[in-house]
Amino acid sequence: MPGRRAVLVGSAALIAGGATPARAGTGGQCPDGNAAWIPPEELVADLPRLMRIAGVPGAAIAVVDRGMLAWSHSFGVKNILTRDPVREDTLFEAASMTKPVFAYVVMRLVDEKRLDLDTPLVAYRRPENLGDDPNLERITARHVLEHSTGLPNWASEPLVTSSAPGSIYTYSGEAFIWLQLVVETIMGMGLGSVMRAKLFDPAGMSHSSFGWDEAIAKSAVFGHSEPPEGEQVLPPQPTRELGDRLLRVAKKRGKPIATWTYEDSVAAMRESDPKTPPSTHDLLVNSAGGLLMTASDYATFMALMMDRPTRAAWEISDTTRRAMLTPRLDVRGRDISRGLGWELEQSPAGLLFQHSGSNYGIFKTMGVGDPRNGRAIVVFTNAANGNALAARILRQATGIDRLKSLI
């Protein structure tokens, strides 16, 4: 009998490869003459079958065309046991796709001269978990956003670097938490409040939040292992379990989790579970992976990265936007590189900006944008094999074979 991993690998190959040739969507014509990235009707009709094969109970897709949200659709269920349907306002864990959203707000602070990209972070805030390493004195916000700090992704020991800052690609969630502390120090408020003031409210992203409350708990999807068909018990739900536990502390304090500072979060984690040391990886208000939102809200955010002649006063400047999309650090040769917050890929269609995410192995997300032609597509899923499904959707909707997907 094949093991569960064999089933996963087999279904992933079937979904990602498929028998249908890649083709563009059926939407209107873009400036370059190519069709929009709206998934073709035959793919939309076939998605329930593909989701069953992949073991993905729920998904949401949103598309940007001509720099605006143009199409969105939800599929399947939030929880395979209760069969609650995924709706337009259903929340997913954006996972590591949180990082570009946070990076955008960091760049707003750069435009406002509140933060300098090349000033060492220790000049703003020195975390308690730094180890004995002179390289730590050199790490800047630019290093964090391009993933060249030399810091580990996550750590339980005092932080030290594995390479000199700015020298090589080193993907790091811990670095983003340090930059989160810097932003909270500069602004004098918690990350969630900063994000709401600087991005969510002005952009109309009303279904985006850091934190947890009863409304989020009701709207958010559950994560699923592979394959979920026939499951009687869902896998552990770390975000939901921690959120429900911390919500009791929030009610006692009379302060919503979405407004908590880093210190608020750590104190609450200690109060709710004195036996378990707080972990930066598990922070609910987490700049590296804590965003809860709809696919449509993420597409609305991606639209801010598109080329266009004018920008609203609250947006980052066009110079700053182009800086985020300028290759700075090679990841896999010259074709895959890092900008500020985004992974960049040189494709036959031109420069693509992209990111993907995985929270606890049971929430998988992916988004790709074409800034020159004002196009983007976002796929959120609630299952371990969601990345295979997302890759199939992106390939068939865009007609582009991307070289890789970021962890």
Q: Measuring CA to CA, which residue among 163, 141, 142 is closest to residue 151?
A: 163
pLDDT at 34: 53
CA–CA–CA angle 256, 341, 339 (5° rounding): 170
pLDDT by residue (tens digit) across 293-306? 999 999 999 999 99
pLDDT by residue (tens digit) across 89-145? 999 999 999 999 999 999 999 999 999 999 999 999 999 999 999 999 999 999 999
User: Model pTM?
Assistant: 0.91
Spatial distance between the Cα atoms of 386 and 361, rounded to a whole number of angstroms: 10
Spatial distance between the Cα atoms of 173 and 154, rounded to a whole number of angstroms: 6
pLDDT at 14: 46
Q: Measuring CA to CA, which residue among 308, 227, 279, 277 is closest to residue 65?
A: 308
Q: Measuring CA to CA, which residue among 301, 283, 286, 325 is closest to residue 380?
A: 301
pLDDT at 228: 57
pLDDT by residue (tens digit) across 352-374? 999 999 999 999 999 999 999 99
Q: What is the DSSP letter of 361?
A: T
Average pLDDT, the chain: 90
pLDDT at 42: 96
Spatial distance between the Cα atoms of 72 and 86, rounded to a whole number of angstroms: 12
Q: Per 3-state DSSP, what percentage of the chain is helix, strand, and coil (rounded to 5)?
A: 40, 20, 45
Q: Spell out a b/e string for 375-400, using b for 16 or more CB atoms within 10 Å of the CB, else e.
A: bbbbbbbbbbbbbbbbbbbbbbbbbb
Number of Cβ atoms within 10 Å of the Cβ of 274: 8
54-70 average pLDDT score: 96
Spatial distance between the Cα atoms of 239 and 223, rounded to a whole number of angstroms: 10
232 pLDDT band, cuts 50/70/90, is confident
